[in-house]
Amino acid sequence: MDIVQELLKGSSLALARAITAIENEYDEAFSMMEKLYPHTGRAHVIGMTGPPGAGKSTLTDKLAKQFRLQGKTVGIVAVDPTSPFSGGAILGDRIRMNELTLDPGVFIRSMGTRGSLGGLALKTSDVVKIMDAAGKDIIFIETVGVGQSEVDIMKTADTTVVVLVPGLGDDIQAIKAGILEIGDIFAINKADRDGVERLNSELNMMFDLNQNEVDWRPPVQQTIASDGTGIDELMTKIEEHIGYLNQSNELVIRRKQRTRNEFLALLEEQISRRVLEKITVSGELDSLVTSLEQRKQDPYTIVFGLLNQYLR
């Protein structure tokens, strides 16, 4: 099967295989990305992040259904942590999106973090590109927002929704600072619980303090995803953000920045990988480290030496 051709024609099977190819870095993956790249840049990417148990998947499910009612096609990438011990993962976000599975206009894919922190954001971004090329109008990225890599993933999004729950016992301070800064919209889910007002005021105080030059002040929307409360309003806020991005040229600016950052990240990753490959394969790495331990050489000398040797 010609994956690229079939994918562009709308085959779900081809889309699924393409994602696998890039995740596993099959040989054909890179020429595949080459052919797909011109077809990317259309989809609007929405990031959904927040602490575990906040209800991101349930919210994504509800929002996706709203977009479907508008006739838009949807892709969802759900990222779950991989066990650092075994390398395996339980990817369970789909359980909250059962109905969407049978909707032919929706494609859901679960990804593990696979332990590679640097590469994860790149991989997720590639998966988003593949879904974009396949014609999805809206693509959700869902991650558990507790680490730096999750913050990086969110940079792939045009609109980032941070989902919080009241009374989790965590102060806002405890939540990764980066997530709070990149949040475009904040959803307080399970808003029927105690602590809603406190969380609401804490968030708004934070926005007051961090007011920067951009004219978008993140709105805070209360939701109860399980029964649909606040979903319409959240949709409106997302649409308002999309409108804002388009009208203010923010979208163009952000995407330019993102394209640049992704390119640099890929460049960095590939360079270090090439060099690492060379010295690991040849066994040089171990002797270099020993040499450092014994103070026979210093790290800078070694590194510049390697660059001279392998990057001519």
**Chain positions contacting another protein, by CB under 8 A:** 12-13, 15-17, 19-20, 23-25, 53, 57-58, 82-83, 85-96, 98, 101-102, 107-110, 112, 114, 116, 119, 123, 226
Residue among 243, 60, 20, 235 at smallest CA distance from 142: 60
Cα–Cα distance for residue pair 114/127, rounded to 1 Å:
14
DSSP H helices in 102-228: 117-133, 148-154, 177-182, 196-209
Cα–Cα distance for residue pair 23/221, rounded to 1 Å:
35
Minimum Å gap between C-beta 107 and another protein is 6
Nearer of residues 22 and 245 to another protein, judged by Cβ: 22
Nearer of residues 87 and 243 to another protein, judged by Cβ: 87
Secondary structure letter of residue 97 according to DSSP? G
Nearer of residues 159 and 189 to another protein, judged by Cβ: 189
Nearer of residues 78 and 220 to another protein, judged by Cβ: 78
Cα–Cα distance for residue pair 182/160, rounded to 1 Å:
7
Minimum Å gap between C-beta 208 and another protein is 32
Minimum Å gap between C-beta 266 and another protein is 14
Cα–Cα distance for residue pair 45/47, rounded to 1 Å:
7
Could you please report the per-residue DSSP string of 160-174? EEEEE-TTSS--GGG
Strands 159-164 and 220-222: unpaired
Nearer of residues 90 and 289 to another protein, judged by Cβ: 90
CB hemisphere CA count around 27 (13 angstroms): 0
Residue among 187, 65, 189 at smallest CA distance from 138: 65
Residue among 20, 242, 6 at smallest CA distance from 109: 20
Q: 80: which strand partners?
A: 112
Minimum Å gap between C-beta 108 and another protein is 6
Minimum Å gap between C-beta 234 and another protein is 18
Minimum Å gap between C-beta 281 and another protein is 16
Minimum Å gap between C-beta 174 and another protein is 19
Nearer of residues 24 and 212 to another protein, judged by Cβ: 24
Cα–Cα distance for residue pair 122/27, rounded to 1 Å:
17
The sign of the CA dihedral 171, 176, 182, 185 is negative
Nearer of residues 130 and 220 to another protein, judged by Cβ: 130
Nearer of residues 91 and 302 to another protein, judged by Cβ: 91
